[in-house]
């Protein structure tokens, strides 16, 4: 069986006109099609339906942004087979709509597929801006976790993990900029490149960019700067916990007064 999976992205990376052309073409096909609105939000919310869509042996044509970015999104969402071996991809960041339609038609030809059109939405209103980690590149240095002020990451001796994606501040890719291994990506980063999840990484150019970004963001003494950020993050987390406790206390007092 064959299956077309289309990420109708809510980001700013792929033109809305191109997405509408692809959607219109897909809705006119007699084929098995799943439209995700949008993959980043569904993955960040760990929507269980993604496992059913991706974790099987079907021949898949996955339409969206960079294949590397889409694959990295699926693993933390619970898709065991997140490398999607044997699947084909159309990267709409680098493929014109007409060429994408040709590839879709070629994939559909030669084999009958069950006809269905399913739409899976993420409608929380969250902009689904958050990092994912490429563990094939990560060295567990922890600079991303030390830099982040908002508790997005958890760091142990064995692993750095994204544990609170919704805490990430929209359109802030700074932790990816200072990652010395180019292991942190933001799938909705509209300027593309390694930070946006491109699989083609110019290691020399990335190293030069990192040196400039680290100096710009952290200054000459990176270790002192990261330690200061860590202290500031702990202060922010303590203040958030205190604010929550005060709010809970006030609500409890109001309930008591009503009685």
Domains of the chain, by residue range, sit at: 2-121, 132-233
Which pLDDT tens digit goes with each residue over 30-86? 899 999 999 999 999 999 999 999 988 889 999 999 999 999 999 989 999 899 999
pLDDT higher than 60, residue 177: yes
pLDDT higher than 70, residue 234: no
Mean pLDDT of 3-22: 94
Query: Model confidence at 256, in pLDDT bands (50, 70, 90)?
Result: low
3-state SS record for 132-157: EECCCCCCCCCHHHHHCCCCCEEECC
pTM of structure: 0.81
Distances (CA, A) of 37 to 26, 95, 124, 198, 231: 14, 20, 11, 21, 38
What is the distance between the alpha carbons of residues 24 and 104, in angstroms, rounded to a whole number? 12
Identify the pLDDT of residue 247.
73
């Amino acid at each position: 069986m064959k299956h077309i999976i289309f990420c109708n992205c809510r980001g700013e990376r792929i033109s809305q006109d191109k997405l509408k052309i692809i959607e219109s073409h897909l809705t006119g096909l007699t084929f098995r099609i799943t439209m995700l609105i949008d993959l980043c939000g569904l993955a960040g919310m760990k929507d269980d339906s993604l496992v059913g869509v991706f974790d099987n042996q079907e021949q898949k044509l996955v339409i969206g942004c960079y294949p590397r970015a889409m694959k990295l999104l699926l693993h933390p969402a619970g898709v065991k087979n997140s490398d999607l071996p044997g699947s084909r991809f159309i990267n709409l960041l680098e493929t014109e709509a007409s060429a994408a339609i040709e590839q879709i038609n070629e994939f559909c030809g030669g084999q009958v597929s069950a006809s269905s059109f399913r739409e899976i939405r993420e409608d929380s209103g969250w902009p689904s801006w958050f990092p994912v980690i490429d563990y094939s590149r990560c060295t567990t240095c922890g600079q991303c976790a030390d830099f982040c002020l908002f508790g997005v990451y958890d760091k142990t001796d064995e692993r750095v993990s994204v544990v609170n994606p919704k805490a990430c501040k929209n359109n802030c890719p700074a932790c990816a900029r200072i990652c010395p291994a180019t292991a942190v990506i933001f799938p909705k980063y509209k300027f593309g490149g390694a930070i946006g999840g491109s699989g083609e990484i110019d290691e020399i150019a990335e190293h030069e960019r990192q040196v400039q970004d680290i100096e710009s963001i952290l200054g000459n003494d990176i270790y002192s700067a990261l330690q200061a950020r860590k202290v500031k993050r702990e202060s922010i987390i303590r203040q958030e916990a205190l604010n929550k406790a005060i709010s809970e206390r006030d609500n409890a007092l109001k309930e008591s007064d009503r009685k």
